[in-house]
């Protein structure tokens, strides 16, 4: 009886203790649902929007000493809706009928671009220990203990109040007001809504202003939980809160609220009881060690895979949008053969010139950077297979690459294996993991595949990494995750230039393999599925098998690239290379520049590795001006601009899902055709270029 009472009391305390973090998750989950219901966008940039207001509130209130109300008005009621209106006007208005995956990619770009843009615009730098304050005086210092078991701070009580009131107000807005109905109608079909005489643009703008305001309010309320205001904390919270939003299937506000609270409470309950029980039941120890940090990701993955409603959910689409046309052919296939040949010869000559200069004049820094570019191109080809051919967005490519890298480290460390065979073993293991991962995802639609892979990436990051058979044990402690360079026969590839040659050879081989995949049965199958899963099934194609093959191939390539990256850097360097947010930027780059071609991946690799040095540091300008001394004083430009520029460039993804490079090639080919047509006495038959045609992504 006493024991039962004690457990009951502890459970009650744990529930109370889980409520404040649960409220934070609930606030973000509500924001997800609000944005999805009112705009049809699964907004991964929600955290970035929240961060913008949190930074502005911090600047105005903490740094500039403004009062609470003026700071709140400026950061939440002015800045946040303004951000929403700008995003709607410049980006999402033009994406209303775009596929959900295209919108998701754009929000990933915004999630990458907005925080550094905010930092640059406001000159904000995180300062350790300068804790953001809440919206009530002494919010972190005054506590109330309504149940005599656990006290809540004023800040926490305000957040709880806002979450509940927000849920009620938004619920009422959707249910009882005309604008609520109109917002949902615009998501369902803007064209049909306009036929009803409703100004879809205005309704959509209101929806974005509202959801952005909510993001701003959430940001200001969340910030006091962090002792240092930093953008990555917001993104991590967003990933956790997706689990709560998924509980509400992105449409139910009450379920999102309960999902968020439930998540916080489950974590607190497990943290209360698991350590205690594992003292007497040793079999619980591994569970305690590994489950608690991964609960949100396990919940998210579980909800996605097990909740039938999500598996069956069809993404919002405009019934009047018509049928998406099949992807247009690549420019190289449609333009005349002479142009293609000239382009290829010119490209090859340029690369040969670069290689000659690099191998004769390049110092170790340049060789290092170019090798990085080559290896990253290999990794990015994994995105080409999955996203370019299959139309699937995977946000765990960094994890596949990390598996390859850690495999090399482990095989060398434990068995003194040669690194090159180890790299292929790593790639094979990554392929196996990719194939396994595809099984629970086989029935999920586009955005849910992306979210599930993101959950997997965070699961690996929070749980798998610390296992000695993954991240290394005593050896890693003493020497880090070091990896040697290979020796092939008489060639010692410790020499950087020799290793670069190997990397180039492997890139060419993988590139050829990817072209083979594109032209072969696998590529045709993936294209068929991407066009219409039902139609593909009707001719005997198995979507599950095709996804399995696509994931396995993609993971193999990523794993091989990851292994090579570790060998190149002579260290796995997980945090630098493969952490989930870092790998998110990979996707942004590849889809921006071109996810359907080898060329796109190579350009993305070059951009990732060389953009800072060539452009932001002003090196190219120095070459043009023929002296580094003539580089203007504004250089070097902050490296944050790289994230901003490439992040914002994803806006182009919906218009040009084939990527900026392919779009430019088509434009150039179309111009050349027009010129030829003008010059010719009678217009020749010209293959049509689908320059302005949007391409379906899923």
User: Cis before residue 473, ω within 30 degrees of 0?
Assistant: no
Q: Near other proteins by CB under 8 A, which window of 26-34, 98-106, 365-373, 658-666?
A: 365-373
Site for other proteins in 19-38 (CB under 8 A): 20-21
Q: Near other proteins by CB under 8 A, which window of 30-38, 98-106, 361-369, 686-694?
A: 361-369
473 interacts with other proteins by CB under 8 A: yes
Site for other proteins in 605-644 (CB under 8 A): 612, 638-640
Smallest gap, in angstroms, from Cβ of residue 268 to other proteins? 5
368 interacts with other proteins by CB under 8 A: yes
Among 203, 268, 454, 590, binds other proteins (CB under 8 A): 268
132 interacts with other proteins by CB under 8 A: no
Q: Which of 515, 530, 639, 658 is nearest to 592 (CA)?
A: 658
Smallest gap, in angstroms, from Cβ of residue 568 to other proteins? 10
3-state SS class at 491: strand
Task: Locate 419 and state its tokens.
Answer: 């690194």
Torsion of CA 13, 18, 19, 24, to 10 degrees: 160
Which of 206/458 has CB closer to other proteins?
Answer: 458
293 interacts with other proteins by CB under 8 A: yes
Mask for 491-520, x = binds other proteins (CB under 8 A): -xxxxx-x----------------------
Q: Which of 175, 230, 163 is nearest to 21 (CA)?
A: 163
Among 60, 462, 592, 603, binds other proteins (CB under 8 A): 462
Q: Provide the angle, in degrees to the nearest 10, between the axes of the packed helices 80-90 and 200-222.
A: 140
CB atoms within 10 A of CB 335: 22
Q: Which of 440, 345, 409, 449 is nearest to 42 (CA)?
A: 449
**Residue 378: partners with Cβ closer than 8 Å, 6 or more residues away:** 503, 506, 507, 510, 557, 560, 561, 564, 605
242 interacts with other proteins by CB under 8 A: no
Which of 177/473 has CB closer to other proteins?
Answer: 473
Which of 181/515 has CB closer to other proteins?
Answer: 515
Task: Locate 183 and state its tokens.
Answer: 């917002």
Spatial contact of 503 and 444, defined as CB atoms under 8 Å apart = no
Spatial separation of the C-alpha atoms in residues 384 and 557, rounded to whole Å: 10
Smallest gap, in angstroms, from Cβ of residue 267 to other proteins? 5
Smallest gap, in angstroms, from Cβ of residue 368 to other proteins? 5
128 interacts with other proteins by CB under 8 A: yes
17 interacts with other proteins by CB under 8 A: yes
Among 44, 412, 451, 548, binds other proteins (CB under 8 A): 412
State which H helix or E strand residue 493 sits in: none
340 interacts with other proteins by CB under 8 A: no
Q: What DSSP character marks residue 683?
A: P
Which of 57/92 has CB closer to other proteins?
Answer: 57
Site for other proteins in 516-545 (CB under 8 A): 521
**Residue 269: partners with Cβ closer than 8 Å, 6 or more residues away:** 11, 14, 15, 18
Which of 268/405 has CB closer to other proteins?
Answer: 268
155 interacts with other proteins by CB under 8 A: no
86 interacts with other proteins by CB under 8 A: no
Spatial separation of the C-alpha atoms in residues 105 and 108, rounded to whole Å: 5
Spatial separation of the C-alpha atoms in residues 292 and 269, rounded to whole Å: 10
Site for other proteins in 581-600 (CB under 8 A): 582
| Sign of the CA dihedral running 271, 265, 42, 210 | negative
Among 573, 622, 668, 693, binds other proteins (CB under 8 A): 573
418 interacts with other proteins by CB under 8 A: yes
Spatial separation of the C-alpha atoms in residues 62 and 655, rounded to whole Å: 42
62 interacts with other proteins by CB under 8 A: no
277 interacts with other proteins by CB under 8 A: no
CB atoms within 10 A of CB 617: 17
Spatial separation of the C-alpha atoms in residues 372 and 355, rounded to whole Å: 14
Which of 88/496 has CB closer to other proteins?
Answer: 496
236 interacts with other proteins by CB under 8 A: yes
279 interacts with other proteins by CB under 8 A: no
Q: Near other proteins by CB under 8 A, which window of 36-44, 173-181, 363-371, 543-551?
A: 363-371
């Amino acid at each position: 009886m006493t024991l039962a009472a004690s457990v009951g009391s502890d459970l009650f305390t744990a529930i109370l203790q889980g409520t404040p973090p649960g409220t934070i998750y609930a606030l973000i989950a509500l924001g997800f649902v609000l944005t999805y219901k009112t705009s049809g966008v699964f907004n991964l940039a929600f955290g970035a929007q929240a961060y913008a207001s949190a930074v502005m509130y911090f600047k105005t209130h903490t740094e500039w000493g403004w009062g609470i109300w003026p700071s709140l008005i400026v950061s939440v009621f002015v800045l946040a809706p303004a951000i929403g209106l700008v995003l709607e006007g410049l980006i999402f208005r033009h994406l209303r009928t775009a596929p959900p995956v295209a919108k998701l990619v754009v929000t990933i770009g915004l999630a990458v671009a907005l925080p550094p843009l905010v930092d640059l615009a406001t000159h904000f730098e995180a300062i350790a220990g300068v804790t953001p304050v809440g919206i009530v005086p002494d919010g972190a210092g005054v506590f109330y203990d309504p149940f005599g078991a656990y006290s809540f701070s004023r800040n926490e009580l305000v957040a709880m109040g806002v979450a509940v009131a927000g849920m009620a107000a938004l619920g009422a807005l959707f249910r009882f007001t005309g604008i609520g109905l109109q917002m949902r109608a615009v998501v369902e079909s803007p064209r049909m809504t306009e036929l009803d005489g409703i100004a879809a643009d205005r309704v959509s703008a209101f929806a974005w202003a509202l959801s952005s305001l909510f993001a701003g309010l959430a940001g200001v309320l969340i910030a006091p939980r962090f002792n240092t205001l930093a953008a990555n904390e917001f993104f991590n919270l967003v990933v956790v809160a997706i689990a709560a939003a998924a509980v509400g299937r992105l449409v139910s506000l009450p379920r999102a609220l309960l999902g968020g609270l439930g998540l916080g409470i489950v974590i607190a309950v497990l943290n209360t009881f698991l350590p205690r029980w594992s003292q007497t039941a040793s079999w619980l120890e591994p569970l305690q060690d590994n489950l608690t940090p991964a609960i949100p990701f396990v919940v998210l993955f579980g909800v996605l895979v097990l909740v039938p409603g999500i598996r069956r959910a069809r993404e919002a689409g405009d019934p009047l949008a018509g049928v998406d046309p099949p992807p247009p052919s690549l420019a190289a296939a449609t333009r005349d053969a002479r142009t293609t040949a000239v382009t290829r010869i010119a490209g090859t000559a340029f690369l040969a010139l670069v290689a000659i200069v690099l191998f004769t004049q390049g110092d170790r820094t340049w060789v290092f950077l170019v090798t990085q570019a080559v290896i990253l191109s290999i990794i990015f080809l994994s995105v080409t297979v999955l996203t370019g051919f299959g139309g699937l967005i995977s946000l765990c490519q960094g994890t596949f690459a990390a598996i390859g890298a850690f495999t090399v480290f482990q095989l060398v460390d434990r068995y003194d294996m040669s690194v090159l065979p180890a790299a292929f073993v790593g790639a094979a293991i990554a392929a196996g993991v990719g194939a396994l991962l595809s099984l629970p995802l086989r029935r999920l639609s586009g955005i849910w595949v992306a979210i599930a892979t993101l959950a997997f990436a965070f699961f690996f990051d929070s749980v798998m990494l610390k296992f000695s058979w993954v991240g290394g044990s005593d050896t890693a402690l003493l020497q880090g995750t070091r990896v040697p360079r290979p020796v092939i026969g008489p060639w010692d590839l410790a020499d950087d230039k020799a290793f670069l040659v190997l990397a180039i050879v492997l890139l060419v081989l993988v590139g050829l393999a990817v072209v083979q995949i594109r032209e072969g049965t696998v590529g045709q199958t993936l294209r068929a599925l991407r066009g219409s899963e039902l139609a593909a099934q009707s001719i005997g194609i198995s979507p599950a098998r095709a996804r399995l093959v696509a994931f396995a191939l993609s993971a193999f390539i990523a794993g091989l690239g990851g292994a090579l990256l570790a060998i190149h850097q002579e260290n796995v360097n997980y945090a630098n290379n493969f952490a989930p947010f870092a790998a998110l930027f990979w996707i942004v780059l590849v889809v921006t520049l071109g996810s359907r071609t080898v060329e796109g991946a190579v350009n993305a690799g070059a951009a990732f590795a060389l953009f800072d040095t060539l452009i932001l540091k002003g090196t190219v300008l120095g070459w043009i001006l023929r002296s580094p001394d003539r580089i203007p004083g504004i250089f070097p430009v902050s490296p944050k601009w790289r994230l901003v520029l490439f992040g914002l460039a994803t806006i182009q993804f919906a218009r040009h899902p084939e990527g900026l490079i392919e779009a430019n090639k088509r434009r150039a080919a179309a111009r050349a055709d027009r010129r030829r047509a003008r010059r010719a006495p009678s217009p020749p038959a010209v293959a049509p270029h689908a320059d302005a045609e949007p391409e379906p992504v899923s």
